[in-house]
Amino acid sequence: MKPIEEYRDHFPIFKDTVYINSCSYAALSDEVEAAFLKYLKDRHEMGADWIGWCDRLERVRELFAKLLSARADEIAVTTSASASLSAVSSSLDFSGARKKIVTTDLAFPTEAHAWHALKKHGAQVVHAKEKDGMIDLDDLERLVDETTLLVAVPLVCYRNGALADVPAIRDIARKKGAMILVDAYQGVGAVPIDVNEWDVDFIVGGSLKYLLSTAGVGFLWVRGDLITKSQPTQTGWFAQEDVHAMLIHDNIPARSARRFEQGTPSVPNLYAVEAGLKMILEIGVGNIRKYVASLNERLKQGILKIGGKIMSPMNPDRHGAMITVASTDEYALVAKLAEDGIVASCRDGNLRISAHFYNNDDDIDAVIASLEKNKNLLA
């Protein structure tokens, strides 16, 4: 692998802009742009290439599996994290004693919506509270009991960057016999994930943030021994055991995690996702995590020096790639940064600054200088 700093040249946006907004959308690389153009070239030359497109889908499945240290048959390639969550929620059975879903006050809205929508089927949905910006594990343990079917947590909170203690949460769920789902969208590609170490039941995520590509492709990992026990009713022809059978008088779901898929995949975006995943795997998520941690320590010290208030946990082991800063007017602060050629975003009263492997010390220093110039917008 070449030095991580050399990958910056693959992202044209840095010629004129400090892009530090990967928590919202990744910067566009030459490779991902070329992948989109390859899709258009293929359409012009072949019109339709179903065999090639299905092969590409399987290559993307293999890449997602490699990213998570999983098996390919445990991966469903979906159109979004929302589609993954819908498929999981449609597979849950509330006919028995277990009717409770425990989510958290740090959940991304889509995740919470998926569970609250199940109230019509008898689900009881409760939220573990937030404490010091993290999931309150004591409150979580209080809520999880013998009636709990599923515990759902975000790996990284989209509002403040807090990184969940997945093994501790898993142990709380397992002790009461509950399943556990991790929404990894705000962490995958920036935080190493090994499904064998986590030993959870479901992981959902998508490709437009730290995986470098675009909206339109998500993934769902399902624990191997749970796959054939699950019967999702959100389904489609790509979820069938034989995709090409065109069966209409029955539903015969795949024996693999494909049973959680639905209709025709987002073909143009598969091209882009394949290119993005290849770069991430080439660099290595562990290397990315270490590199970004160094940038974030520089950022945190700079923010404290100018009197800013950091809303993310200070311990680097307790936050993802994103660092948040309190603001008196988050949208005005984002606009002021934009005037200085810096692209960032905001949520919940906080400025969000999210470095990736393509950022460098100069980017961090530019952010700190702009924040110092706009101290009147810092809380």
**Arithmetic mean of pLDDT, 301-322:** 97
Return the percentage of the chain with pLDDT > 70, whole number: 100
Indicate the domain borders of the chain.
4-28+284-377, 33-280
Quick one: pLDDT at residue 1?
72
Quick one: pLDDT at residue 359?
98
- CATH code given to domain 33-280: 3.40.640.10
Backbone angles phi, psi at 154, to 5 degrees: -85, 140
To the question of pTM greater than 0.85 for the whole model, the response is yes
Q: Do domains 4-28+284-377 and 33-280 have the same CATH topology?
A: no
Per-residue model confidence as pLDDT tens digits over 52-67: 999 999 999 999 999 9
50 band by pLDDT with thresholds 50, 70 and 90:
very high
**Arithmetic mean of pLDDT, 345-374:** 98
Rounded CA separation 33/53 (Å): 18
Structure tokens at 186: 């705000």
Quick one: pLDDT at residue 267?
97
Place of tokens 């689900």: 123
Per-residue model confidence as pLDDT tens digits over 76-88: 999 999 999 999 9
Quick one: pLDDT at residue 170?
98
Question: Of 234-243, 300-309, 353-362, where does mean pLDDT reach its minimum?
Answer: 234-243
Q: Superfamily assignment of 4-28+284-377 in CATH?
A: Aspartate Aminotransferase, domain 1 (3.90.1150.10)
Contact (CB, 8 A) for 281 and 70: no
Quick one: pLDDT at residue 321?
98
Contact (CB, 8 A) for 254 and 230: no
Quick one: pLDDT at residue 161?
97
Per-residue model confidence as pLDDT tens digits over 316-345: 999 999 999 999 999 999 999 999 999 999
2 band by pLDDT with thresholds 50, 70 and 90:
confident
Contact (CB, 8 A) for 147 and 122: no
Quick one: pLDDT at residue 119?
97
**Across all residues in the chain, what is the average pLDDT?**
97
Quick one: pLDDT at residue 76?
98
Q: Which residues contact 50 (CB under 8 A, 6 or more apart)?
A: none
Quick one: pLDDT at residue 162?
98
- The candidate with the shortest Cα–Cα distance to 176, out of 203, 153, 143, is 143
**Arithmetic mean of pLDDT, 102-110:** 97
Rounded CA separation 320/335 (Å): 24
244 band by pLDDT with thresholds 50, 70 and 90:
confident
